[in-house]
Amino acid sequence: MAGGYGVRSPGPCVQCLARPMTTPFWPGRERCASLASRDAFAARLFKRQKMESFLVSTGIVALAEMGDKTQLLSLVLAARYRKPIPIILGILIATLVNHGFAGALGGWITGMVGVDLLRWILGLGFIAMAGWMLIPDKLDDAEEAKPVKGALGILGTTIIAFFFAEMGDKTQIATVALAARFHGEVIAVVAGTTFGMMLANAPAVLLGDRFANKMPIALVHKIAAAIFLVLGLLALFNVGG
């Protein structure tokens, strides 16, 4: 009794209930947290590899396409037809199909040859591309599109002319090599090379000679050659996977 009024003071049981609850011990909690952290790191690495392959492919092909025969073809088509929309759309379709095949070939090469042989193929191939970049390109008469009428005719002519002009060209060979270099990232590589082609060709179609005359082609080719040379040396010395 307290104070004669019949009120009991809180006993030990009430005091126990007043204590803050503690988190029960869970043996697997640390392991689950470790797995979650590892999965998050793998996801970040996967995204970084995709972005790296896309950006490298975009930059290399955009530089390599400057002054290339397919860009010269874009200028010829733009001057002849003066219909930029079907020409740009035709270039996009032709590039997607052409570089899609090139990327698939690069992925196939990766699976068919050993790691050491692939390293030598890529290294020497990139170095050869560096030398090729320093050789001025020109558009043969046979590769120029024949005059047609109508938007559909211009679209079809652009697709056919651009697709065959791109066969065996610097940028197609570069797409094969990049798809082999970034094995497992063929889609990102093809997306990057296609975007690079459009960065170089869309302004050429829209602006014509104003774009071509203001572009320092020789300097751009030297920069592209330096990048190809670095990629070749990195592949030969097995730097960066």
Nearest to 223 by CA among 76, 113, 67, 110: 67
Q: pLDDT 10s digit of each residue in the chain, 241 long?
A: 444 445 555 555 545 455 555 555 555 666 665 666 666 666 676 678 899 999 999 999 999 999 888 998 999 999 888 889 999 999 999 999 999 999 999 999 988 888 888 889 999 999 999 998 888 777 665 455 555 556 568 999 999 999 999 998 999 999 999 999 998 899 999 999 999 999 999 999 998 877 767 778 788 889 999 999 999 999 888 765 5
For residue 241, what pLDDT is reported?
57
In angstroms, the CA 212 to CA 190 distance is: 25
For residue 180, what pLDDT is reported?
93
Can you give the three-state secondary structure of 174-205, one letter per residue?
HHHHHHHHCCCCHHHHHHHHHHHHHHHHHHHH
In angstroms, the CA 221 to CA 218 distance is: 5
- Alpha carbon 101 to its chain centroid, in Å, reads 15
